[in-house]
Structure 1
C-alpha cells in the first residue's frame, strides 16, 4: 500500500535529554522528561491515553525552533504518584506547580495529543498556559449534536450510568497490550504505517509499558474524566487554541468530526484539517504544529 511516507523517517523521536520529578505541595510527585535547548520557549506535552514520558515528538526541529519540550505524566501514569480523586479542574493546579518547580519562564504553551486534549484545554481555560495546540484530540463527546461512533456511545453511556463501576472495570482490565491492540485495531492504513514502523513501534510500546507501570488505575481515571461532561466551558477559553486533525483519521476515539464542533465552540480557535494525514500527524508534521503554536 502507498502510505505517503518516505523511507528512513525517524518521526522526530529520540531519548529524553533530561528526566525527573517535581514534588508538589501535597507530597505527590509528577514525572517529566525534556528535549531541546534549556533556554528555549517552554512547551508542555500532554500525551495520549496511558503514554509515559519517554515518547516525545519533533526532536529534530526543537533546536531550530528554539523550543524546550517537556512531557508531563498525569497522576498514576509512569512515575507520577496517583491521585484517585483528581478531576480535570485539579489538573491545572498540578501543572502550575510543575511549571514553577521546573523554573519555566516566559509564558508556557501546551500540546495535547489525543486523550491529552481535555487536560490541555483545562489548562487553557484556567489560564495556566498562554496558548494550546490540540492534535488529533478528543472532543467533549457528551456535547449535544456531536456525532459519535456507536461503540464509543456505549462507553459514554456506561460512564454516565455508573462512573465508579466504569472506572473499576478499566482499572482491572487495562494494560499495555490491551492499549496497543486498541490503537492498532482502530487505526487506518496511514496511522498503522506509522505506529508499526520499526522506527516508531518500539518507542511507542515502551511508552505504554511506562504508562501502565503502576497498573491501570491512572489510565482508568483519565478515561472517566474524558468521557463524562467536562467541568469547564471551552467557550470561556481566552488564550489562542490551534486544532490539528488528519483526514485519514477514522474519527472513532479521536474527534468524530475532526474538531469542527470544537473549533466553533472555542473563541478564535484555528482548525487545520490535513487531508493526507492521519491521527499520527504529531510525528509527521511536528514542525508545522510547533511553529503555529509559537506564532499563536
Structure 2
C-alpha cells in the first residue's frame, strides 16, 4: 500500500493509493459508498499476480482528498484525466464496485478513447430513473432522512462510524451482519477481510458526515447523461443474493447499454462477489474491450 496526493487544477488536493504491480497495465479502481481508497487493497494480490497497476483514488471529500463543493458526476472524467496525466498513463482500465459503478459509466462515456476496459461490480443504479424500491431497506431509510431530516442523517452516519469499530461477531455490529446474506457473512469473517472493509469505511466516515452525504447526493441527483448513451463495452458483475443493491438493477441497466456483458452469480452477495472472484474480474478486464457479441449474458459464472 502506497499513499500519494497531488494538486488538481482547481487547487484542491486529490489522494490515491497504489496496489498491484507497479510496472503493470494501469487500472483505476473507484471505491464504493461509504468507502475510500483502502477498499482497493482487496484486489492487491491478484492485481500483482496478473500484472495490473491498480490506482485507487479517494473521491473529493473522502480520505486524503479535499472537499469539492457542488460536485457532479460529470466532474469526474476531468479529475481522472488529471490523475492519469500525473501518474503517466495514456490508456487505462476502469473498475468500480457499488458506488463506484456510476463513475465507470461517466468515464466510459467521456473518455472512451483512453479506456481499455470497463468493469462494474454490483453497481449503484440511476435512482432518479429506476427508483429506490429495489434498494436495501437501510439505504432507503437513509434516502428518506436525506430528503426530510438531513441533520439526523448526519448523526446516523456518525453512529455508523462508531459501530464500525466494533467486533463483527459481537453486538451491535453482529446484528447488522445478520442483515446480509449467508455468503456475504462468511466472506466478511474470513481473516483480514472485515479489517479492510472497516478501514475503508472509516476512511470516509472519519472525515465527518458532510463529505459522505455530498458523495451520496451524486447517486440521488440527475447524473447529467442517459445511461443508454454509453456506447462502450461494459462488463457487469452481480450476485443474485445481493441485499444491498438488487441484481435486477444491473439487468435493467445492461438492457439499455448497447455493448453490455453481464456475469451473474447465483450464490454471491454484495461483498462476497468482488472478494471471492477478484481474480476473474481482473483477468477479464485485462482482456480489454473485445467482446464476441454486442451483448453476452453469462449465467452462473462461478461454475466456470
For normalisation by structure 2, the TM-score amounts to: 0.81
After superposition, residues 1-296 of structure 1 pair within 5 angstroms as 16=1, 18-56=2-40, 57-105=42-90, 107-127=91-111, 129-144=115-130, 148-149=134-135, 151=137, 152=139, 162=147, 169-175=152-158, 176-177=161-162, 184=177, 186-250=179-243, 253-257=244-248, 259-280=250-271, 281-295=273-287, 296=289
Judged with a 3 Å threshold, the aligned counterparts in structure 2 of structure 1 residues 168 and 146 are, in CA distance, closer, same or farther, namely: closer
1:54 counterpart SS class? helix
Judged with a 3 Å threshold, the aligned counterparts in structure 2 of structure 1 residues 227 and 208 are, in CA distance, closer, same or farther, namely: same
- The Cα of 1:144 is off from its aligned counterpart by 4.5
Deviation larger for 143-152 or 34-43: 143-152
Deviation larger for 182-191 or 45-54: 182-191
8 A contact 1:20–1:33 mirrored in 2? yes
Judged with a 3 Å threshold, the aligned counterparts in structure 2 of structure 1 residues 40 and 157 are, in CA distance, closer, same or farther, namely: same
Gaps of 5+ in 1: 1-15
- The Cα of 1:194 is off from its aligned counterpart by 1.7
- The Cα of 1:147 is off from its aligned counterpart by 5.2
Gaps of 5+ in 2: 166-172, 290-304
Counterparts of 1:186 and 1:96 in 2: how far apart (Å)?
39
Judged with a 3 Å threshold, the aligned counterparts in structure 2 of structure 1 residues 144 and 78 are, in CA distance, closer, same or farther, namely: closer
Query: Relative to total residues, which structure has the larger helix share, 1 or 2?
Result: 2
- The Cα of 1:58 is off from its aligned counterpart by 2.5
- The Cα of 1:59 is off from its aligned counterpart by 2.1
Who is 2:301 aligned against? none
Pairs aligned (count):
273
**Aligned-pair RMSD on alpha carbons?**
2.5
8 A contact 2:240–2:246 mirrored in 1? no
- The Cα of 1:169 is off from its aligned counterpart by 4.8
Deviation larger for 48-57 or 36-45: 48-57
C-alpha offsets along residues 87-114 of structure 1, whole Å, 9 cap, x if unaligned? Answer: 1011111111111111123x11111101
